[in-house]
Structure 1
Amino acid sequence: MSSNTVRNTTWDELKVGDEASVERTATAQDFYLFAHVTGNVNPANLPGNEDKQPSAPSMWIGSLISAALGNRLPGPGTLYRVQNLTFHKRVRLGDKVIASVRCTEKLEKPLATFETRVTSVDGDLLAEGRAEVEVPLERIEADTNALPELILDEHDHFGKLVARAAQLPALPTAVVSPDDHNSLGGAVLSAQKGLIVPILIGERAAIEKAAAELDADISGYRLIEVDGHRAAAAKAVELINTGEARAIMKGNIHSDELLGQVVKRDGGLRTSRRISHTFVMDVPTLDHLLFISDAAINIAPDLVTKVDITQNAIDLAIACGVKQPRVGVLSAVETVNVNIPSTLDAAILSKMADRGQIRGGIVDGPLAMDNAIDTEAARTKGITSLVAGKAEILVVPNLEAGNMLAKELTFVGRAEAAGLVLGAKAPVMLTSRADNDRARLASAALAQFYDYWRTNGRPFEGDADVVVAKAAE
């Protein structure tokens, strides 16, 4: 019998006085899962509400007795007839408890009664009662790892990102053609959260119609009337160049139309860097933000373009507070193969970072997706690297790979995606009509941090920088 297998005690084997127990620490996951399964959303039992130390649902405590009976004694095959419980003390988040059962009487086959108790590790009685169960008559074994895996939203990276960005002065932002309820709604919400000061650019009638659909009051926002999306994009670029705005937010305009004005040689927002887009992903299974580039602008980047793509992504990660970002340059395999050009680019980018031609991060490649993001996969393949298994930035071979990766994480892995165009004179938020409110807010927060980093030469570090930032308004 393996360590993952539990075996029962049959009715014939069971003796009065037999006992068993299970230990469990009350975690936030337990409370959330119990709420999902039962539909009980009592705030007293959920983390994140006013009660900072929520108490465990009483029936969650009772379920631990069920686990002791079903897994330990009598074990697999056991079925309840009766269970009564008296609760004496509350179990709080983080408490370790012991659920124990002791056979008190064997009744007519297959019935037996058990004394049931739940105590703290210090011996305090939390709950007690009596159970009557049907004891299995035949040998049964069960695999404790047989349950399907669950993905929980354990980390709210975007919520923390937005809350921290709201400490900064609102960023004057040119909003290009916000003439539908989605794009205007994102701008209004970002303004309400204190992230941006929107400058609405476009056809007044269409914008006011969208505001009416939203029931939003936009009278306090500056509105610059121009005809057509291209003219609106050109006006937004002009506002950046004159210093009236410090960021651009895409509204109901095609990305190509907006970026065409951003990258034009005369009067655009070009710098010495190639512009690129970086997705920032809040992935439920990761304890950190995941940066993916480039998945929206550069279709088939050459090596020179990939240098700028990598540097732009590192700069954004640093601006968001990652001290020395770990960059995994992706390919299909983790070894250099002359027949796979992306492996050659990855190896060169890694060496360029070693030589200081790419600064601020630790770059390694080629890495396949599995060993870039999963420590066990990297260990299994014998990869020794400061990045493998711990990558915070993924540089993809081309736009197709990046776009598919970001959308798979979003629609299959339930990640949330925000993003920013980098390498221009100002950050550009390429919000999509499919983006939800949190994605729009997170994109505005990214623009806040990137603008602060570009202006001050260091990332925003929180409360200590607020006074300085507000004084500079």
Structure 2
Amino acid sequence: MNHFTDPDSLWIENRTYDEIAVGDTATLLRTLRHEDIHMFAIMSGDINPAHVDAEYARSSIFTEVIAHGMWGGALISTLLGTQFPGPGTIYVDQTLHFSRPVRVGDTVTVTVRCDRKFDHNKHMILDCVCINQHGEKVIHGTAEVLAPSDKVRLVKTELPEFRLSDTRKTRFERLMQITHGLTPISMAVAHPCDAESLRGALLARDRGLIVPTLVGPEAKIRRLAEEFGMDLGDCRIVDTPHSHASAERAVALCRAGECEALMKGSLHTDELVSEVIRKDTGLRTARRMSHVFVMDVPTYPRLMLITDAAINVAPTLLEKADIVQNAIDLAHILHIPEPKVALLAAVETVNPAMPSTIDAAALCKMADRGQIRGGLLDGPLAFDNAISAAAALTKGIRSVVAGQADILVVPDIESGNMLAKQMEYLAEALAAGIVLGARVPFVLTSRADSAETRTTSTAIAVVMAHAKRNAVTRGDA
């Protein structure tokens, strides 16, 4: 009796009708992963909660998520189509009986045996059995196939890489967990006069993040809410005639302590920032203000903080020192105890013709001397070296930062803005934008940003405001 197994080779080869004798068998082994269940559900559209909803599955007779029955059936089909008989096989009939569930982690051995052959039409009957690692039969049945007459030996087709990632909603909810257990904060929303900025503020309210004070033309805000079916509830509205007055009044509310945080609405960034940075009436501190994008990138295993991509156009060395320290302080608030800071440039070596490389080297020395505290700095680093350990290894870079950076410090606003937008629009990053170094957290997002982005940004502000409250209580502020 001949026995054929799944060959680990570059070739796929069939067995013709004449080459197979009654009693010949072939086997295939496969271990079930969570990803297999999800991919099968995506492919088939079968989202039966017994397979994809762990909470529901716990209440079922199986007490946990199990594979779709036809996942095992697909393994039989795989064996028939690729090995035994292989390419050229045509399915005629299949019967299956399901004896036991297949659970995540189970290793299934699929065995197909030729029981009968019919010379007049080249059909054969195959016995099909799937057995788990405990020797228990989980699926059994029979298949009738038209076996190939012509010999085929081909190079295996290389399929594109397929990677499952969490849905955007899942990643959004995970990021929102940073506010778990925190009470709402008071927030002034400057000129929320388009649908997304108003919806973002109200969504943050409904999530229990903020108690919003809407600063802008009251009649316009109420018309907008009515048009888009948004419930203003008992929101406080501070009536102003135009966007400039909205910016001035919202900043004044924060400066007076009536609001703990500030959110940009539909007005232009420069219009609000100019009020924030006024010496006598703004929200400046001794620290240089800077912006940080907090990003959840599906292809990166940790939060990515990019700074500064919105406030400082061409920062000096000392301004960069504040930018770095601001980002490190935020990382601590986000429970990253010793953030790894990559100081980006086009190259990873110091070049006098490239000022960003000299600044990066100087910032590293400032950290060595205690002028920047709380993080691990390295630079200059090119972007690939900062986020890819393989790229760093190829270039011979030995660094605790390379390949695992938490914070990316860009040379200027142009490179930072382009990098952040690329992450968001090409890499499906979930982004939050926040300004640091002011008296209060300042949610600064693009006018094109969605309500979701505004809400995640608000979550960062809530965590910052509570950290400030705790610092005051401890006497640190």
Partner residue, 2:386: 372
Q: Distance in 2 between matches of 1:405 and 1:234?
A: 31
Relative to the length of structure 2, the TM-score reads: 0.88
CA apart distance, 1:110: 5.8
- The answer to whether the 8 Å contact 1:330/1:365 transfers is yes
Pick aligned residue for 2:468 from 454, 457, 467: 454
Partner residue, 2:48: 42
Map 1:283-322 to 2 at 5 A. Answer: 283-322=297-336
Q: Distance in 1 between matches of 2:42 and 2:355?
A: 48
Pick aligned residue for 1:152 from 149, 165, 172: 165
Matched, 1:272 2:307: no
Moved more, 243-252 or 392-401: 392-401
Structure 2 letter corresponding to 1:5: L
Q: Distance in 1 between matches of 2:467 and 2:174?
A: 18
Partner residue, 1:465: none
Q: Distance in 2 between matches of 1:430 and 1:282?
A: 17
Structure 2 letter corresponding to 1:287: P
Structure 2 letter corresponding to 1:141: L
- The answer to whether the 8 Å contact 1:77/1:140 transfers is no
Matched, 1:21 2:27: yes
Deviation per residue, 1:90-112 (Å, 9 max, x gap): 22344333333333344447644
Q: Distance in 2 between matches of 1:80 and 1:247?
A: 66
**Residue ranges of structure 2 left out of the alignment (5+ in a row):** 1-6, 59-63
Moved more, 398-407 or 154-163: 154-163
CA apart distance, 1:166: 4.0
Partner residue, 1:461: none
- The answer to whether the 8 Å contact 1:166/1:194 transfers is no
- The answer to whether the 8 Å contact 1:6/1:72 transfers is no
Partner residue, 1:335: 349
The 3 A distance-change label for structure 1 pair 149 and 343 is farther
Structure 1 letter corresponding to 2:13: N
Q: Distance in 2 between matches of 1:346 and 1:76?
A: 58
The 3 A distance-change label for structure 1 pair 131 and 366 is farther
Matched, 1:8 2:13: yes
Matched, 1:139 2:163: no
The 3 A distance-change label for structure 1 pair 75 and 404 is farther
Q: Distance in 2 between matches of 1:292 and 1:112?
A: 63
Q: Distance in 2 between matches of 1:356 and 1:456?
A: 25
SS in 2 for 1:32: helix
SS in 2 for 1:426: coil
Q: Distance in 2 between matches of 1:398 and 1:200?
A: 33
Q: Distance in 1 between matches of 2:181 and 2:396?
A: 44
Q: Distance in 1 between matches of 2:77 and 2:364?
A: 54
Partner residue, 2:128: 116
| RMSD of aligned alpha carbons | 2.6
Deviation per residue, 1:148-192 (Å, 9 max, x gap): 444523794431231341420101100111122211111111011
Q: Distance in 1 between matches of 2:9 and 2:405?
A: 31
CA apart distance, 1:126: 1.3
Pick aligned residue for 1:67 from 78, 81, 87: 78
Q: Distance in 2 between matches of 1:435 and 1:66?
A: 47
Pick aligned residue for 2:179 from 165, 182, 189: 165
Greater Rg over alpha carbons, structure: 2
The 3 A distance-change label for structure 1 pair 292 and 110 is farther
Map 1:417-456 to 2 at 5 A. Answer: 417-456=431-470
Q: Distance in 2 between matches of 1:296 and 1:177?
A: 19
Structure 2 letter corresponding to 1:84: T
Deviation per residue, 1:305-324 (Å, 9 max, x gap): 22122111122122111121
**Residue ranges of structure 1 left out of the alignment (5+ in a row):** 459-467
Structure 2 letter corresponding to 1:431: T
Matched, 1:92 2:106: no
SS in 1 for 2:393: helix
Structure 1 letter corresponding to 2:25: E
Q: Distance in 1 between matches of 2:9 and 2:434?
A: 46
Q: Distance in 2 between matches of 1:214 and 1:48?
A: 36
Structure 2 letter corresponding to 1:138: K
Q: Distance in 1 between matches of 2:99 and 2:321?
A: 64
Moved more, 227-236 or 198-207: 227-236
Q: Distance in 2 between matches of 1:82 and 1:354?
A: 73
Partner residue, 1:32: 38
- The answer to whether the 8 Å contact 1:282/1:415 transfers is yes
Structure 2 letter corresponding to 1:456: N
The 3 A distance-change label for structure 1 pair 456 and 62 is same
- The answer to whether the 8 Å contact 1:299/1:400 transfers is yes
Q: Distance in 1 between matches of 2:467 and 2:88?
A: 61
- The answer to whether the 8 Å contact 2:197/2:454 transfers is no
The 3 A distance-change label for structure 1 pair 209 and 267 is same
Relative to the length of structure 1, the TM-score reads: 0.89
- The answer to whether the 8 Å contact 1:234/1:261 transfers is yes
Partner residue, 1:463: none
Q: How many residues align?
A: 459
Q: Distance in 1 between matches of 2:404 and 2:46?
A: 37
SS in 2 for 1:51: helix
- The answer to whether the 8 Å contact 2:196/2:451 transfers is no
